Structure 1
């Protein structure tokens, strides 16, 4: 994706017995962009992590990569996310250098298997949730009702709420 990925739609996806159901990964040195990515009608059954957006995936062929080549992550949406037996439904791990911007999650109801206060895991993400979201989203996201009326602004735009002990 070093050259950029945009205008991608993924629909009607069923993922079962998986470590990671949907994953977007990048890192410093990749450059390019991931933008205008739409996921609709996702079902996760028996997944360790449902949605992963990770900006510190540090695999490079050598040490000569450009440390100033920062990718842009923006306009990523997830609509109609359902499932059972998911340990962590959402893990969005942006960074200070590579924040995830304009992330939207709409209509999510995922049965979880791991009871923990860090069910949604977010860091350096800006965006919103719309409508019914189960389990409760992280504080980094604005909350809107089904009619897209603002209910609550985020309280921790850059808070790190990550627990890798799962």
Structure 2
């Protein structure tokens, strides 16, 4: 992702023994990921259910601009169920350039024993009806609208 990805609709996934919902980028990629709508997903036997990271760290060659920052925003994830999940979510934005307008609604996961259920750094916005309860950064409920999906 170095140009941009937008207006993606994901609906009705059934994932097992694989990665969950994942958006990945890195400093030096630039571009954007926005207007992403994910709904009605069932996960089973997944290590991390939802991963958004700007710390992916891979680049196609050495000619990238290390100052190019990815812009991750307006991501709507709703109606997700998970069984035998090791970690509910891992959100890793960049210092000074956090993920924003991230919406989690109606998400229920059966998380197996783990020390960290949610990991969040440099992400803000809204969650509603999420179990187990998300990290503080996602539980702020700043927005009135939970999802246009």
User: Same fold by TM-score, threshold 0.5 exceeded?
Assistant: yes
Aligned to 1:26: 25
SS in 2 for 1:57: coil
* Separation in structure 2 between the aligned mates of residue 36 and residue 102 of structure 1, nearest angstrom: 10
Unaligned runs of 5+ in 2: none
Unaligned runs of 5+ in 1: 150-166
TM-score with structure 1 length normalisation?
Answer: 0.81
* Separation in structure 2 between the aligned mates of residue 142 and residue 133 of structure 1, nearest angstrom: 9
SS in 2 for 1:140: helix
1:139 paired to 2:129: no
* Separation in structure 1 between the aligned mates of residue 78 and residue 60 of structure 2, nearest angstrom: 35
Which structure is higher in RCO with an 8 Å CA cutoff and minimum separation 6?
2
- Decide which structure has greater strand share: 1
Aligned to 2:107: 108
Aligned to 2:67: 68
* Separation in structure 2 between the aligned mates of residue 143 and residue 42 of structure 1, nearest angstrom: 24
TM-score with structure 2 length normalisation?
Answer: 0.90
Matches within 5 A, 1:2-41: 2-18=2-18, 20-41=19-40
SS in 2 for 1:126: strand
Aligned to 2:87: 88
Query: Do 1:55 and 1:98's aligned partners in 2 also have CA atoms closer than 8 Å?
Result: no
Aligned to 2:56: 57
Q: 1:143/1:107 Cα in 2 relative to 1: closer, same or farther (>3 Å)? A: farther
Per the TM alignment, residue 98 of structure 1 is displaced from its structure 2 partner at its CA by 3.7
Structure 1 residues 141-160: Cα deviation after superposition (integer angstroms, max 9, x where no partner): 2355xxx69xxxxxxxxxxx
Structure 1 residues 47-90: Cα deviation after superposition (integer angstroms, max 9, x where no partner): 00111001011111222210121110000011001020000111
CA RMSD across the alignment:
1.5
SS in 2 for 1:137: coil
